[in-house]
Structure 1
């Protein structure tokens, strides 16, 4: 059995007056939601997402069933609000959530917030963006390098929205001792290259310092959007002070 250590931070960035990101964390459940809709409706949507997750039964026999039910509940609440207020029709949110099961995570993902994994010093993207440019990459019609710079790279094809019936991706992610996970909104991933994210995630074992460094990097790149980072370290339950070799460097 492994244990977790985590750190979290959120920042409005340099160009937004409000922060429409919401973050949820507990001993076992971790999530980032990036709201959209303008006029503060994005903040309402992401807040609804984390409020629903706060009521999740983390001890359920089938965590994916619980997570799927949560995403449906979020969509229902958004639809109900949009029916009451015409201006809220475009309101929605991304959601990337990890539910800890002791040796692995149950992952729930929709939108373009991301989960990254650093294992043995190497960075991998755990989730797949539900964007137009990612679909073009998957179809072989656009190289990843071009997609990373495309002006429409944040155009979503799937999200939790009023009137939407899009399903989230649900899968398991096996965890190893020494793994470091990052859940972030696109305010980080849109402006900080993967190699720089990898460097910052491996530069210090201190999660709080890592979160601050990631947010600082996004703001140094212009801070065009809200920035939320949640860093999770997988450690042995019997020895929380243990660190993998790549973190001791």
Structure 2
């Protein structure tokens, strides 16, 4: 059975002066990248990575091919820093979902952006944060319920930074008709608890769910950019001719003429 992805994306800068998140959505894939705060040009890092990753997409990858594409996109970050030493140290997280060989799904992840699946009303977190606080949780030093309020929750331990050691985790996932996925930056999950996220995801309207999730984070006092992609797995062929939709920094940087406008204010 052939599948395609139908998605809605939304992004807001929140109280910050610029949006360093980037996201894309297409029938064959979707992803969220969050430029690492505290470093230079996080918006450039996330936008450059996303655009290079999706440029010229024309085939369903296996895990090795997808890893190679992420490494190629990572080299773009390195090239920007090489041309301008002031950009040295820029980096981005990334979480993406792609249709792979034999109509299976590939999930790529590095950093603390997240992926969740919603199946028959049950929401499951599908990624593990590459972060200092997650390591504390794994070691039994911090309770999982305390992560949202931990003062060091934003310290990540892995990202795409243009370095040769950068390597996302790529895993296979079996698709199921009518599954819904959420890809999001930590601007959502640092401020909105899982139950509220699940309730927003359960509504039928993808666009409404994406908009509501961003609003929930902003209403909760998010001090960060907030970006979400809500993706449904549906039966049907995935066209590579349909141009991806970009939001956040990726809608402003490297954008060509076409349906690349930001879907949310901010």
Q: Normalising to structure 2: TM-score of the pair?
A: 0.82
Q: 1:130: which partner in 2?
A: 130
Q: CA RMSD in A?
A: 2.0
Q: 1:77: which partner in 2?
A: 76
Paired residues, what number? 235
Q: 1:99: which partner in 2?
A: 98
SS in structure 2 at match of 1:160: coil
Q: CA deviation at 1:27?
A: 1.3
Q: 2:242: which partner in 1?
A: none
Query: Following the alignment from structure 1 to structure 2, what is the Cα–Cα distance between the partners of residues 39 and 130?
Result: 17
Q: CA deviation at 1:147?
A: 2.2
Instruction: List alignment gaps of at least 5 residues for structure 2.
Output: 238-266
Q: 2:160: which partner in 1?
A: 160
Establish whether residue 5 from structure 1 lines up as the match of residue 6 from structure 2. Answer: yes
Query: Following the alignment from structure 1 to structure 2, what is the Cα–Cα distance between the partners of residues 171 and 136?
Result: 24
Q: Normalising to structure 1: TM-score of the pair?
A: 0.87
Runs of 4+ in 1 over 6 A off after TM superposition: none
Greater relative contact order, per chain length (Cα 8 Å cut-off, separation 6+): 2
Query: Following the alignment from structure 1 to structure 2, what is the Cα–Cα distance between the partners of residues 5 and 81?
Result: 32
Query: Following the alignment from structure 2 to structure 1, what is the Cα–Cα distance between the partners of residues 136 and 58?
Result: 36
Query: Following the alignment from structure 1 to structure 2, what is the Cα–Cα distance between the partners of residues 3 and 92?
Result: 30
Q: CA deviation at 1:88?
A: 1.5
Q: 1:124 to 1:58 in 2, by over 3 A?
A: farther
Residue pair 1:79, 1:163 contacting (<8 A) in 2 also: yes
Q: CA deviation at 1:57?
A: 4.1
Query: Following the alignment from structure 1 to structure 2, what is the Cα–Cα distance between the partners of residues 159 and 36?
Result: 8
Q: CA deviation at 1:109?
A: 0.6
Instruction: List alignment gaps of at least 5 residues for structure 1.
Output: 239-249
